[in-house]
Amino acid sequence: MGEGRNRGPKVRRAEAGDARAIARVHVNTWRQTYRGIVPDAVLDALSVDEREAMWRRAARPRPAGGLFVAETESGVVGFAVSGLEERGRSDFPGEVYALYVLPANQGQGLGTRLFRAAVRSLSEAGLDAVLVWVLKANPYRRFYEKLGGELVDEGSVELGGVRLPTVAYGWRELAAWLEVRR
């Protein structure tokens, strides 16, 4: 059994049945990554059940982008979701809304593979530029710089009654970016 079967990590388009596993990754990575940055009350109130319903809806087909998972033998260990930019920026019509990999599975290239899948889905829909918003205090935001993202904007988000600074990284000419990072 299993002979000839590739058992290494893979990245694939998510299905509705992945929603609970994605929700677990979402809640766990938020609690581990953002403790001390996001108010504890927000992190403690995160619910896998509530996130599962959200990710079940997100797995539905969309005009551009999609929801992707990184999966190992132990199950889903990361995800990325992309779609149309939501703030009306015509210079960056696509957005990667979220990308998370469980800490135990980081450093294996899964985040890069997830990002590439999310960006490819936008490029295939005809979009030529993408951005991603991250908390300015996110200790992993350098990941986007290593992928060639340029700082293109600053803003903020309110979580738990606290306004937290955010930054946006952008990529242009997605087809060329994908070709270089095949």
Per-residue pLDDT of the chain (182 residues; tens, 9 = 90+): 444 455 678 999 998 899 999 999 999 999 999 999 999 999 999 999 999 988 988 778 777 889 999 999 999 999 999 999 988 878 999 999 999 999 999 999 999 999 999 999 999 999 999 999 999 999 999 999 999 999 999 999 999 999 999 999 999 998 888 888 76
Task: Report yes or no on 62 lying in a domain.
Answer: yes
Task: Report yes or no on 5 lying in a domain.
Answer: no
Task: Report yes or no on 4 lying in a domain.
Answer: no
HSE at residue 110, side-chain half, CA atoms within 13 A, is: 25
Q: Structure tokens of 36?
A: 């001390």
CATH number at residue 80: 3.40.630.30
Task: Report yes or no on 76 lying in a domain.
Answer: yes
DSSP string, 120-154: HHHHHTT--EEEEEEETT-TTTHHHHHTT-EEEEE
- What is the model's pTM? 0.92
CA distance 72 to 76: 6
Task: Report yes or no on 3 lying in a domain.
Answer: no
Total domain count, the chain: 1
Per the structure, the complete domain to which residue 114 belongs is given by: 10-180
